[in-house]
Amino acid sequence: MNLKITNCNNFFKIKGILNRRSIHLFQEEFRNIFDRVSTLTISIEELEDIDSYGVNAIAKLHNESITKEKNLSIIGYGQKGLYRHFKSAKAN
């Protein structure tokens, strides 16, 4: 399945596969998002698969939220690789 991103207000659902082939869609959707919103929620409940490129893209979005002092919530039982990344990251 390809990557599909839907949204309503500041709530985004990611469905499908977030990998090297689809990363450009994710990056385009969230480019400069924190210049437009102060709170962002992303559901990864329907994310079927994610590779290291996808994990890095979400981590980059997370870092941007911290730098710009914005709120980012990632919800849903998604991929274990994503959770491992954030669990192993040191808190500032």
Domains of the chain by residue range? 4-88
- CATH code for the structural domain at 4-88: 3.30.750.24
Q: Is the pLDDT of residue 91 over 50?
A: no
Residue for token pair 């659902």: 13
What strand order describes the sheet that includes 71-75?
Answer: 4-8, 11-18, 39-50, 71-75
Pairwise pLDDT comparison (4 vs 88), residue with the higher score: 4
Q: Looking at residue 79, what is its pLDDT?
A: 60
The secondary structure of the chain in percent helix, strand, coil, rounded to multiples of 5, reads 40, 35, 30
Task: Give CA–CA dist 77/14, Å, rounded.
Answer: 12
pLDDT in tens, 12-61: 999 999 999 999 999 999 999 999 999 999 999 999 888 889 999 999 99
Pairwise pLDDT comparison (87 vs 30), residue with the higher score: 30
Q: Is the pLDDT of residue 71 over 70?
A: yes
Q: What is the pTM of this model?
A: 0.82
